[in-house]
Structure 1
Amino acid sequence: MRIIILQTIGYLLFSSLLLTGCDALEESPKNMVVENFYKTPEEVETATNAIYHSLRAGECMAVYEATLECMSDCVYGRGSWAQIGEYNKLNDTNITRVGTIWKWFYLAIRNANLVIQRSPAGDPAIDVFVAEAHFLRAFSYFQIVRNWGGVPLRTDKNLGETDVPKSTIDDVYKLIIDDLLLAEGMLPEKQGLIGRPTKWAAKTLLADVYLHLEKYGDARAKAEEVMASRQYSLVPAKTKEDFQNNVFGPALLTTSEEIFYLKYSNVVAGQSNYLLWITNHASTGGFPFGGAYVLYMKSDTEAFRNWDEGDLRRQLWSHADFGLGDNTYVSAKFIDKGAISQNGGANDDPVYGYSDLLLIYAEALAMEKGNATVEAMEAVNQIRRRAYGYDPLVASEVDYKLADYASADKFRDLVIKERGYEFQLEGKRWLELKRTGKAQQVIKAEKGYDVDEISFLWPFPVDEINYNTAIDPSRDQNPGY
C-alpha cells in the first residue's frame, strides 16, 4: 500500500494540465495528495505540474521580478517598495517580502525533488518529466544563488532532512549545471504542450549560467547551438502597439521568439500574471483595474534622457503624475484590457526569449575573442532594428557600427545598454549589473546612492534559521542581518 502524504494549504496544491487553443500549458489547480511513489506517466505529469504552481502561484515570479526592478539603476519603487532601491539594508517589510520569494522557490525545488526521487526509471514517457524537473530545479536554484549566495542545497538525496547545512556558491552552481546537462540530453526538441521546456530551453539557461560564471566559450557554444536550430526568430514590430500585442500581448498562445515563458491566463482564477497589477496605472488605459503603479521611471535621469524617443521600447513608458512630480513615467509594456481581476492579466512571463539568446551570444563571443566581431554586432543589431520598426534581418540606418565598439569592454557596455532597453520590468537589470561588476558605479551615477556590499545579497528568512538547526545564525546569515 502506498503511503499518502497530506499537504497543508499553500504548500500542497497540485496542478494538472488542461488543453486550450493549440495545446498550451496552463494550470488547473485541484486538491490532491502527494504519493510516496509514482507508477504511471499521468501521476508523474501531475507531480511535475506542481512545480509550476510553486513558481506561478502566490505571485512568486511577479513579486520577485518587481523587487529586482526596484534595485536597478533606472526604475524606482513606490510606497513600501521604495526602500528596496535605497541600498541601505532591507527593512522588516522587505525582509518578509524576499523571505516569501525564498519560500516559493524552495517549494518548487521540493516538488522537483519529489519527481526526481520518486519516479520509476526506464519509461521514456516518464523520463521526459524527470528531465523537466531537473530543468526547473536548476532554474530555481539559479535565482536563489544569485540573490542569496551559498544556501542549503536541498536535493532528491536529502529530501526527508530538515537540517541541511549551507553549501558554497560553487556547489550550488555545480548542481545547476549537472541538472541542465541532464535536461538538455533528455528533453525533446519540441514539446506536445506549449510552455514546457525543451532541450533548447535547457541550452539557453545553461548559456546564461555559463555567462554568469564567465565561461564565455561555453556560453557562446550553447547559445550558438540554439541559434543554429533555426527554431526561433524575433517577432517584427512597427509600433509600440505591436510590442504590446504581438510580442507581449495577453492573447498570445506563443510566438516565434518564445524559448521558455511562464504561462498565464485571465480566464481561470489563480492563473493570472500579478505583475500587471504591480506596474500599471489607470492613465495608461491598459489594465481595467488601474494598478498599483509600484514601479516608475524619472524622465530627468540620464538613462531616460539618453533613450531615443524613436525607440519603440521607450514609447512603452507613459507620463503619469501621481504625486511624485511631473517627471514620473509608468510602463505600459504589459497590458491586458480584458483582464477579469486586479490579481493580474493573461500576459506570459518572458523568462527566456530569442532576444535574451542573441545578447548572451553577442557578449559571450566578444568576451571570448577579446574584441567585438561582425557576428556579435549582428546579433545586437537584430534587436535594435526591431526596436525601431525595421526588419530584424536587414541592415538599417540605425545599426550600430562595429568600428565604434571594437574592444570587448566597449562592446559589453553596448550589450548592457541594449539589455536595459529590451528587458524593462523583467527583473534582469540588477542581476546583470552585479554580474558585470558595474552595480556600484552605475547606481551612484544614476541614482546618487552608495551601494553597500550588504545590498548584493538578501537575508536568509527567519524561519530557515529557526527551524534548520544546521544553519548557524551568526556564521551563515548573510552580512548585515
Structure 2
Amino acid sequence: MKNKLIKTYWLGLILFSGGSLLNSCSDSMLEENVYTGTSQDNLVAQGEAGCKILVDGIYKYVQYFSYSRGNNWQLAPEAGTDEFTLNWGFAITEWGGMQNFLNLNSGHYQPMEMYREAYKLIAQANQVLISFDDKKNDPSYSAMIAEAKFWRAYTYYKLQNVFGSVPLIKGTEDLSSGIERTPASDIRSFVSSEMEDIENILPSTPTAYGKPTKWAVKAFLSRFYLNNKDWTKASLYAKDIIDNSGASLQAKYQDVFKIDGNPEIILAVNQINQSDKGNKYVALSLEGELRNALNIQGVSASNGYGMSNYFYSTFAPDDQRVIPFDKNTKQGIAIAGIQYKADGTPVYGSVSSPETVQKALNRVITFKFPLQENIAKGEDSDADFPLMRLGEIYLTYAEAQFQLGNTAGALEYINPIRTRAGLSPLTTLTLDDILNERGWETYHEGYRREDLLRFGKLLDKVEAKFKYDFPTTPYPNSGNITRELFPIPADAISLNPKLTQNPGY
C-alpha cells in the first residue's frame, strides 16, 4: 500500500522535479535539509520524528503561495484582475499571457507551474496521511496529521478556484491509466469536510511560526463560505475569530506587513532573508532608474510587478493604504506621479516634459510589503506573506451581515478598516462599497479574483483596467465567461489520458 504513495498525478515528474519529497526543514521550516538515503519506510519507523520530517517537508511547497519566486501562485490570478499589472511583455505564451489572462492558452507555462506545484504539495501531504493513517487518533500524531490535511484541503481549494474541476488524488489511487476530473462541487465538499474535521484538532496557538491553528481553519472556512454565499456560516466563523481568537487590528496599516508575527496575522507564509526563501515583491516591482533616484541600496530591479493605473485611480487621495513613499525616510507605500533625481531632473521624460511613473511604467510601484535594503541576492526580504488576517475577517463579517440584511452590523466592522486607512466612516452601505473596500484593503494579497468572481464582476473589471491602462491594445474575448477559468495545462493532459480541457481553450 505505501508504495502507492510514490504514484502521484504527475507520476515520476512531481517526485523528481525540484527535489525529493523527503526534503525537510529546520525550526524555521525554510532551512532545507535533504535526508539522503532516508526511505519512506525508515521515516515511518522513526515514529513521531519521521512524521514531523514529512510534515515539515510540506512547507517547501507552501512558499509557492507567496511572492517567494517570480512565477508564483499569486502572480497569474492577481495579474488576471483589475488591481495588478505585470510589465514583462504581452506575448501570449510568455509573461504577458498572465497579464492579459483572456489570451491565456494551454501551452502557457504559468498555469503549468501552478498545477505542478500544487500537486507536489498534495503528494507530500498524501505521504503523511497514508504513512501514518493508523496513528490519526493518537494524540502524539493527530495535530501533525491535521496539519497535512489543512494544507492539502487549502491547495485543492486553490486549484478548484482557478481550474474548476480537477483530479482529486488522496494517494491510494491507481494512476497507471490516468484519472478523471472531480466535479468542482465535489472538490468544495471535500475541502469543507476536511477542514471541519480538523477544526478542533489543531492547537489554538501554532507549534511553530507559519503553522496552521484552529483559528486558521476558521478563517479559511469564513472565506470559503463567503465565496459559496453561505452568509450565515461565513458570519458565524468570522465572528468567532473576532470575539475569541485573541487577534487584534494593528493601529497602522503598514505595520500589518512590516512586523512579523503581529497580532493581526492569523496565518502567514514565513519568509526569511536568504536566497530564494524570502519575499521578492519589492525587487520584482522596482525599475532601475527609479531605484537609483530613490537611493535604494542592495535591491535588484526586475521592473515587473505593480498596481494598475486604473485601480490606483479608485483610491481616495489620502488613503493610507497607498500613502506616498518618502525617499528621505524610505517609508510609505505608493510610488506614483513625477519622481526626481538628486540633481532635480525628472526620472522619466525631460525637464521640459516630465513623465509620471504611471505613464512611463504603465503602473504604480507599491511597497505594500515594506522595502528592506541589502537583502539576499538583492531580492529576498523577510517580510512575511499573510494568508489570513483579522482585517480581512472584519470585511468578511461585514459583507455576510449586509447580505443577511444587517446593514448596521456591517458598518460596525467595515468602518474600523476605513478609519485605520484615514478615511471617514460610512453611514450608508452598498455592495459596491463592500467590494471596493475589500479591494483597497487586501490588494496584492491574493483575494481579488475570488472577490470579483463572487460579485460577478471579474470580466467587467478586467476590461475596465485594460481600457484605462492600455487604450490602444486590442482587447480580446470581451465578456467571454469561459475565461473565468484558466486552461488545463497541455502537458498535464498529455500525461493523463482521462483529463479533459476546460471549455473555450
TM-score range with shorter-chain normalisation?
A: 0.7 to 0.9
- TM-score (norm. length: structure 2): 0.81
Q: CA deviation at 1:152?
A: 0.7
Alpha-carbon contact 1:258-1:350 (below 8 Å) kept: yes
- Which residue matches 1:270? 276
Counterpart check, 1:443 vs 2:462: yes
CA contact (8 A) 1:66 1:425 kept: no
Matches within 5 A, 1:22-101: 25-32=28-35, 33-36=38-41, 38-39=44-45, 40-56=47-63, 59=68, 63-80=72-89, 81-91=95-105, 95-101=108-114
Preserved CA contact (<8 Å) 2:265 2:388: yes
CA contact (8 A) 1:148 1:460 kept: yes
Q: Give the alignment partner of residue 134 of structure 1, picking from 149, 152, 161.
A: 149
SS at match of 2:31: strand
Contact 2:48 2:140 in 1 (8 A): yes
- CA deviation profile, 1:275-308 (whole Å, cap 9, x unmatched): 3332233435567323223123454x3x433412
Which residue is 2:328 aligned to? none
Matched AA of 1:278: L
Aligned to 2:491: 463
Q: 1:178 aligns with which of 173, 183, 193?
A: 193
1:359 Cα deviation from its structure 2 partner: 1.0
Does the aligned pair in 2 maintain the 1:263–1:348 contact within 8 Å? Answer: yes
Measure the CA separation in 1 of the matches of 2:174 and 2:248.
40
Matches within 5 A, 1:233-382: 233-237=248-252, 243=254, 246-249=255-258, 252-267=259-274, 269-282=275-288, 283=290, 288-297=298-307, 299=309, 301=310, 303-315=311-323, 316-319=333-336, 325-326=359-360, 328-334=363-369, 335-367=371-403, 369-372=404-407, 374-382=408-416
2:419 corresponds to 1:413: no
* Number of the residue aligned with 2:355: none
Work out the CA distance in 2 between the residues paired with 1:332 and 1:348.
13
Contact 1:189 1:199 in 2 (8 A): yes
Residue type matched to 1:175 in 2? F
Instruction: For 2:150 and 2:164, locate their aligned partners in 1 and report how far apart those are by CA, in whole Å.
Output: 20
Q: Structure 2 counterpart of 1:208, which letter?
A: R
Listed one character per residue, the Cα deviations across residues 319-363 of structure 1 (whole Å, up to 9, x for unaligned) are 277797247421111222241214422111111111111111111
Alignment of 1:12-31 (within 5 A): 12-19=20-27, 25-31=28-34
Asked if structure 1 preserves the Cα contact closer than 8 Å seen for 2:308 and 2:465, the reply is no
Give me the whole-angstrom Cα distance separating, in 1, the residues matched to 2:23 and 2:322.
38
Structure 1 position 57, deviation (Å): 5.5
The answer to whether the 8 Å contact 2:51/2:128 transfers is: yes
Cα gap change, 1:53 to 1:73, in 2 (>3 Å): same
Aligned-partner residue type, residue 312 of structure 1: Q
Distance 2:84 2:158 in 1: 20
1:409-438 Cα shifts (integer Å, max 9, x gaps): x1x321211111112222221221112101
Kindly state the Cα deviation for residue 60 of structure 1 after the two structures are TM-superposed.
6.3
**CA offset at residue 158 of structure 1?**
2.2
Q: How does 1:220-231 map to 2 (within 5 A)?
A: 220-231=235-246
Q: Is the counterpart of residue 383 in structure 1 residue 417 in structure 2?
A: yes
Q: Shift of residue 470 of structure 1?
A: 2.1
Q: CA deviation at 1:148?
A: 0.2
Find the counterpart in structure 1 of residue 329 from structure 2. none
| Counterparts of 1:254 and 1:278, CA distance in 2 | 24
The alignment partner of 1:79 has SS state of coil
CA displacement at 1:159 relative to structure 2: 7.2
2:453 to 434, 437, 446: 434
Match of 2:426 in 1: 400
| Residue in structure 2 matched with residue 394 of structure 1 by the alignment | none
Distance change (3 Å), C-alpha of 1:181 and 1:432: same
Q: Where does structure 1 lack aligned partners over 5 or more consecutive residues?
A: 20-24, 389-396
Once residues 101 and 245 of structure 2 are traced to their aligned partners in structure 1, the CA distance between those partners, rounded to angstroms, is 42
> Which of 8, 29, 40 is the aligned partner of 2:16?
8
RMSD: 2.7
For residues 231-284 of structure 1, give each alpha carbon's deviation from its aligned partner in whole angstroms, at most 9, with x where no partner exists: 1011111xxxx71xx3212xx4411011111111014x4321233332233435
- CA distance, structure 2, for counterparts of residue 34 and residue 387 of structure 1: 52
Q: Answer yes or no: is the 8 Å Cα contact 2:256–2:265 preserved in 1.
A: no
User: What is the number of equivalent residue pairs in this alignment?
Assistant: 442
Distance 2:299 2:450 in 1: 31
1:41 alignment partner AA: E
Q: How far is the alpha carbon of 1:85 from its aligned partner?
A: 3.4
Secondary structure of the residue aligned to 2:364 is strand
Give the aligned residue type for 1:150: S
Letter of the aligned partner of 2:178 in structure 1? D
Change (3 A) 1:177 1:60: farther
In terms of mean alpha carbon deviation, does 256-265 or 274-283 score higher?
A: 274-283
Shift of 1:91: 4.9
Structure 1 distance, partners of 2:486, 2:315, is 31
Inter-CA distance 413–358: structure 2 relative to 1 (3 Å threshold)? same
| Partners of 2:271 and 2:313 in 1: CA distance | 34
Q: Give the AA of the match of 1:309.
A: P
